[in-house]
Structure 1
Amino acid sequence: MKLYYSPGACSLASHIILNEINVDFDLEKVDLKTHITEKGTNYYQINPKGYVPALEINPGLILTENVAILPFLAQHDPKQDLIPPSGLGRAKVLEWLGYLNSELHDAYSVFFGAPLTDDAKQKAYAELDRLLTYIDQAIVASGNEYLVDDNFGPADAYLFVLTNWSNLIKHDLTPFQNVVALRKKVAARQSVQIAMRDEGLIP
């Protein structure tokens, strides 16, 4: 398999899960401004949507979108800890991935487009806080170690990556103590440390 990624982008979640399942894979960095890969390929020829991640499963067979790639990779976990094979447990993972993708990801994305006015920025911060308040309270209500159960999974990787962007936009996460605690557990995983080093995000 090959993962097309941009350092620190949402493709980092797929990179983390690839490390978790301990398979051989290649990485190819994409410049999202020029849409040229590090090997000089026009990225639109690989993924016409133009954004990451894209997972090449076999030559010419490409899967895109986090909500598809993350459970696809997680189901290859030999321990079957990353995602339940079926039933309500699997549905809860997909529920979280859908929420993170459609709500939290979009709420962060507005900061990376055209420059925001001060008023628009404050409204965008408030929307982030609203979404993170829900997540923070859901973690408490569940009584679980992670978002779905007591096992780390793809939704946790995705939440970790998205909330990393708070550092880039000067957004304070400290009010969300349960989110911060979950982030610390995720950050300590070897799969995460390796992925972040490989992408040049940490020494």
Structure 2
Amino acid sequence: MKLYYSPGACSLASHIILNEINVDFDLEKVDLKTHKTEKGTDYYQINPKGYVPALEINPGLILTETIAILPFLAQHDPKQDLIPPSGLGRAKVLEWLGYLSSELHDAYAVFFGEPLHDEAKAKAYAGIDRLLTYINKAIAESDNDYLVDDNFGPADAYLFVLTNWSNSIGHDLTPYPEIVALRNQVAARQSVQIAMRDEGLIL
């Protein structure tokens, strides 16, 4: 398999899960401004949508969209720890992935377009805070070690990556202690440390 990624983008979640399932895979970096890969390929020829991630499963067979790629990769976990094979547990993973993709991802993405004036920035921060308040409360009211159950999974990787963007936009996560605690658990995983080093995000 090959993952097309941009450092620190949402593709980092797929990179983390690839490390978790311990399969052989290649990485190819994409410049999202020029839409060229590091090998000089026109990225639109790989993914006509133009954004990351894209997962080449076999030559010519491409899967896109984080909420599709993450469960696909997680189901390759030989221990079935990353995602339940069926039933309500699997549905809960998909529920979280859908919420993170349609709500939290979009809320952060506002900051990565045209520069925001002060009023728009304050409104965008408030939007993120509203979503994080919900997530923090959900974690606090749960007896699970992670978002869905006691096992790390794709939703945890995705939440980690999205909230990591707070560092880039000057957003404070300290009002959300449950999220910070979960982030610290995730950050300590070898799969995360390797992915972040490979993408040049940490030394």
Please report the TM-score for the alignment, with normalisation by the length of structure 2: 1.00
CA displacement at 1:109 relative to structure 2? 0.2
Deviations 1:151-176 (A, max 9, x none): 00000000000000000000000000
Q: Distance in 1 between matches of 2:17 and 2:129?
A: 27
SS at the partner of 1:34? coil
Match of residue 143 from structure 2? 143
Q: Distance in 2 between matches of 1:32 and 1:12?
A: 14
Q: Which amino acid aligns with 2:166?
A: S
How do residues 1-203 of structure 1 correspond to structure 2 at under 5 angstroms? 1-203=1-203
Q: Distance in 1 between matches of 2:132 and 2:143?
A: 17
Q: Distance in 1 between matches of 2:49 and 2:127?
A: 27
SS at the partner of 2:105? helix
CA displacement at 1:140 relative to structure 2? 1.2
Unaligned runs of 5+ in 1: none
Unaligned runs of 5+ in 2: none
Give identity over the alignment, percent.
87
Instruction: Say how many residue pairs are matched.
Output: 203
Deviations 1:27-83 (A, max 9, x none): 000000000000010000000000000000000000000010000000000110000
CA displacement at 1:195 relative to structure 2? 0.2
CA displacement at 1:142 relative to structure 2? 1.6
Across the aligned residues of Structure 1 and Structure 2, the Cα RMSD in angstroms comes to 0.3
CA displacement at 1:199 relative to structure 2? 0.3
